[in-house]
Structure formats: C-alpha cells, structure tokens
Amino acid sequence: MSAKLQTTQALAQELAQRIELRTARVAVVGLGYVGLPLAETFAWGGYPVIGFDIDAGKVARLQAGESYIGHIPSERIADLVNSGRFSATTNPACFEDADAIVICVPTPLTEAREPDLSYVEATGRTLVPHLRPGQLVVLESSTYPGTTDDRLRPILEESGLRAGRDFFLAYSPEREDPGNPVYSTRTIPKVVGGYNTISRDLAVALYEPIVEGVVPVSSNRVAEACKILENTYRAVNIALVNELKIVFDAMGIDIWEVIDAARTKPFGFQAFYPGPGLGGHCIPIDPFYLTWMARQYGISTRFIELAGEVNTSMPAYVVQRIADALNDEGKPIKGSRVCILGVAYKKDVDDPRESPAFPILEMLQKRGALVSYNDPHIPVLPLMRHHTIRLESEELTEEFLASQDCVVIVTNHSAYDYDWLARHARLVVDTRNALAGVRQPACRICKA
C-alpha cells in the first residue's frame, strides 16, 4: 500500500470516527430556505454546527434567536441557539475548525437563461485559504451534472490539496419543500454521490444520523442528474396541465374537475395542477440547466424546452384572462384597479423567488392597470434580479375590495378567507381554483 493511500485512509478513518461520535463540526454555508433547516437538522442530530452567511443582518438575527423565514418560527431558532450546538458567523475563518462543510448557496439563471454558478464558485474561493487535510466538502445547491467535479473541485484544489486524497468531495441535492407540513429535512431521503468511493461513504455516514434514509449513488454526476430529473419531471407535467387548461377552457371544460376525476384512477396517473406560472428556486430553473448542458453535447432537448415555453407563457395568459374578464364588465384594462392576492411562489411561504406574480404585475402595469397586491407573508415587494416593481401589501378590507375592479388569486394562502372574499369582491380571476368550495358567491368568478 502506498504512503499516499495510507495517509488518505488515515484521514478518512479519523473523520469517520468523529462523525460516529458526533464530534465532527459541521459548517453550513448559506443560511437561506435550504441551509437554515439543514443546519437545524444537523444540530438536533447531535453535531456541533456553525452557520456561515455573508449577510450580517441574517447572522445577527440568528444569534439573537430570531427567524427571518416565515415557516420557521423564532421559537425554534431560539431553542437551537440556546442548545449550544449552533452559532452563526460571517467570518470565513470558521471553516478551519470544521470537519464537514456543506454548501447551500443559490444557483440562479443569467439573463440569457444559462447557469449562474457565481455563488458556488465564490464559495469555493472563500474556502481555499481555510481548507485543510481530512475535511469533507459537500455541495447541495441544485445544478447540472459535472458541477461538483469540474467546476468546484478545481477551485478547491487551488489550495494544493487533492480531492479524494487530501480532502473529500461529495454532492447531495437539497430536497427542501418549504411550508410542507408532512415532509421536512429530517424525513426526506438524501441522495448522496461522491468524487470517489471514500468521499461518498463519508458523506453517507454524515447524513445517516440526521435523516430517515440515505440513498448512495455511484458518482456526483448521478446525484446531480437525480435532482435535475426530479424538477424537470415536475416542470414537464405542470406544462402539460397548463396547456390542457387552455385547451379545455376553449371547449368550456373545467380542467380542475377533469383532474379530480382522473386522479381517482389508482394506477398510471399522478395529479399535477395548473397555475399562473412556475415559481421557486428549483422547478423554473433546473430544466434550463439541463437544456444548457445538453447543448454542450450537441443535443437538443426539444421536449423540455417546449415545456419551459408553456410554463413561462402562463403569466401572459393570466393577464389576457384578466383583460377578457374586465371587458365582459365593460371596462378596459387601462385605468382599472387590479389587486393581486399572493406574491409568494407557493402557498403559505414567504419566498417570492421566480414568482409568476411579478411578471403579472408588470404586464398589467404596462397595459395601464392600477395595480396593488396583498400577501400576509410578504409585506413589501423585495427587489428581485429580473423585476423592479416596488409596492407594499394593502390591507384587505371591505372598502378596499369594493374599490377594486378585479382581484386576482395568484397564490392561494391558507390565511385568506375565500368565502369573505367572494362576498365582498366584484370580480375575481382565480388561477388556483381557490374559490371552488365557495357556494353562491356574490362576485363573478373567472378561472384562469
């Protein structure tokens, strides 16, 4: 056995022992909707955890026991900090003491709808001065196959250390579903790949104590492809029902009733539901990562690209339905008061990333509508990468609803009283079938 192999095995054995004893220190990079629940899960699993984020405001709030994520109450953060197993910092020197470093940073799209790995690469460069032998680095950010090995690894190896020999490198895709009352970070199985077998096995050992199931795969590329498949599957099927919504509407058929009937089949069918467009940090983005990667191999992914076109066209369809509904009332869209209900990308969360509410608001505004919005989870529209509209959430009162020519349900938050809304609004354009259970509404309802 060579001396280098002996050294690698010794480093791996030492780390494995620390993991088994829960003395391995875990650093989580990026304390957002993925990183913060993961840090919490590692801490309650018995590991000492340090959370790193470049946002000093986030770090200060966490250290004070406060949450900045709607579906994570501050009481949970206070308990986490008081446990003594978690602290947060903006100081990258914390990585020197870490045994495992888990990267949970954004992977958005550029203006040209190509992968933007700047956050991943910047994180790698931040780690380089602090990387030491025997550490495990795991990337969790959603990305295309090859990112961990071909983009992150060379940056980390600028430290002079070699992946799979001096330090260990793995990929495990995040599967966070914010606001889901059934599945949390702890109860969702983790897929784990590695740069080599020893890297994967160490990552598997790291995650096994904190989640209900770990699924080892043969490589980082397979684990990366797994995440892309999961979200492309959803995007394509949502595109299908979005297209069928338009077709069936032209036929005078309610797509929601059709889906409810179809889902009674006990095999061969899974229900997906239409909406005003895709939102969130994964489903609207990941398929484009795959199409971009396919082009590097000279392959055209026409099916996936068509699904993307259908989904990105839905905000325009909604705006046209609003215009048609107003026209039936004898009103032009220009000068009409239109209120959007819900700007978060999904029900009962405070995350507006990629929400279809933003293009809908901007299209309406461009056509001369006097727009407003209400969202109990988002009091002020944040500045977004591709959108500049800035508004504050309006209070929903009888007087306010009476002043609006049209109310548009974009996100069907549980906090809304839909019976009350149907009694006091004039016209509602419902993109989520939220008013399906309302009997004898006083307003006119138009589905979109």
CB atoms within 10 A of CB 90: 14
Residues in the chain: 448
If you average pLDDT over residues 46-50, what whole number do you get? 97
Would you call 282 a catalytic residue per the annotation?
Answer: yes
Domains belonging to the chain, first-starting first, are 3-217 (3.40.50.720), 243-447 (3.40.50.720)
The span from the CA of 227 to the CA of 327, in Å, is 44
H-helix or E-strand containing 323? helix 302-328
Angle, in degrees to the nearest 10, between helices 302-328 and 286-296: 140
Indicate the pairing of strand 168-171 with strand 214-216.
unpaired
d(CA 85, CA 385): 35
As a 3-state breakdown, the chain gives helix, strand, coil percent values, each rounded to 5, of 40, 15, 45
Say which residue, 374 or 286, is predicted with more confidence.
374
pLDDT digits (tens, 9 = 90+) for 80-134: 999 999 999 999 999 999 999 999 999 998 877 889 999 999 999 999 999 999 9
Burial of 46 (0-12, 13-18, 19+ CB in 10 A): middle
pLDDT digits (tens, 9 = 90+) for 278-323: 887 778 888 889 899 999 999 999 999 999 999 999 999 999 999 9
DSSP string, 159-223: GS--BTTTBEEEE------TT-SS--TTTS-EEEEESSHHHHHHHHHHHTTTSS-EEE-S-HHHH
Residues whose CB is less than 8 angstroms from the CB of residue 217 and which lie 6 or more positions away in sequence, other chains included: 191, 192, 193, 200, 223, 226
**Phi-psi category of 144—alpha, beta or left, where left has phi over 0 and alpha has psi -120 to 50?**
beta
At residue 2, the pLDDT reads 75
Taking the C-alpha atoms of residue 394 and residue 375, their distance in angstroms, rounded to an integer, is 8
239-264 pLDDT, tens per residue?
999 999 999 999 999 999 999 999 99
Closest-CA residue to 272 (of 261, 264, 282, 263) = 263
Token code pair at residue 276: 């005003």
SS3 106: coil
Instruction: Please write down the long-range contacts of 387-394, taking CB distance under 8 Å and 24 or more positions apart.
Output: 387/358, 387/359, 387/362, 389/358, 389/361, 389/362, 389/365, 391/361, 394/339
Determine the average pLDDT of the residues in 141-152.
96
At residue 179, does pLDDT exceed 80?
Answer: no
Q: What are phi and psi of 305, to 5 degrees?
A: -65, -35
Place of tokens 């069936």: 248
Average pLDDT over residues 263-267: 97
Q: Which two tokens stand for residue 139?
A: 């990337």
How confident is the model at residue 263, as a pLDDT?
97
Q: Which of 94, 282, 339, 446 is catalytic?
A: 282
Tokens standing for residue 186: 């702890």
CA distance to 1, 142, 277, per residue, from 113 (Å): 48, 15, 17
d(CA 256, CA 14): 56
Q: Residue 398's CB: how many other CB atoms inside 10 A?
A: 11
Please state whether beta strands 214-216 and 190-194 pair in parallel, antiparallel, or not at all (unpaired): parallel
The strand ranges marked E within 46-85 are 49-52
CB 62 within 8 A of CB 51: yes
All residues at 6 or more sequence positions from 408 whose CB lies less than 8 Å from its CB, including other chains: 318, 322, 338, 339, 340, 341, 360, 428, 429, 431, 448
- Of 70 and 48, the structure prediction assigns the larger pLDDT to 48
Q: Beta strand pairing status for 26-29 and 49-52?
A: parallel
How far, in Å, CA of 55 to CA of 53, rounded?
Answer: 5
Whether the CB-CB separation of 104 and 30 falls below 8 Å is answered with: yes
Question: What pLDDT is stored for residue 50 in this prediction?
Answer: 98
**Looking at the predicted structure, is the pLDDT value of residue 1 above 90?**
no
pLDDT, residue 70, reads: 86
Is the pLDDT assigned to residue 379 strictly greater than 90?
Answer: yes
Is the CB of residue 181 less than 8 Å from the CB of residue 348? no
Which amino acid, 155?
Answer: I
Containing 447, the helix (H) or strand (E) segment is strand 444-447
